[in-house]
Amino acid sequence: MESFLKRVLMGKGDSESHRYFVRFGKGDYKRRFLISLNKSAKIKVKTSFEFANDLVKFANENGERKFSGKILSKEKISGKEGKKKAGLFLYEVSDVNIKEFENAYYYLLDSEDSEMTLKIKKSLPKPGKNEEKIDDGFCSLILDLKYWNKLKEIFFWDLPENAKKAEIKHELIINDIILPENEKDPVKIREFALRKGKIIRKINMDSKETEKEFSIEA
């Protein structure tokens, strides 16, 4: 797997990664897509809410794990009992295999065993432009060192192999909104319009900050 952000930065964005940009209009958004690393006897990762699905998928692909918490879906999931809330279907689950809930909108789930502990908060933040209020600990993952190579490739691909501590944040600059052709429905226009601009990836490691700039259409 690849994280939604890596796909976008590498020019391989798709419909799944696109939805993380729907909430943004034209403008300059600082301190977004937050992720940090602390590697010693264990690997500790903290992130903002956007990485929830990728962390759940990572945990699921690296062991036979069960999950508990909340699952949000845009469509009703056949055979499952859920509540409709704010245009989404909410499923409260305990010790489930997420294969039963494929293509969910958000996995707000926890999972724990001897090798990996994942904790995700259970209420999505409201859209806003105040970067200082963004929760950099919405998701937390603690795992054994044996998972480092896989984790690095997905979330920390541009860090050196011997990285111990790092904080990564992104500045999102949207210069243009590309509207879908021949679409009249305002809801679908908002949903499918592409955001064009750039992302500045800022990595703070060993008290030194480096920046990389990527042109995006997501």
Contact 49, 34 (CB under 8 A): no
C-alpha 72/C-alpha 101 separation (Å) is: 9
Residues 136-150: pLDDT tens digits?
A: 999 999 999 999 999
> DSSP H helical segments within 52-159, as ranges?
52-61, 148-155
DSSP secondary structure of 164-186: -EEEEEEEEEEEEEEPPTT---H
User: What percent of the chain is modeled with pLDDT above 90?
Assistant: 74
Compute φ and ψ for 179, nearest 5 degrees: -80, 145
Residues 52-111: pLDDT tens digits?
A: 999 999 999 988 899 999 999 988 888 888 888 888 999 999 999 998 888 899 999 999
For 20, which DSSP code? T
Is residue 152 pLDDT above 70, yes or no?
yes
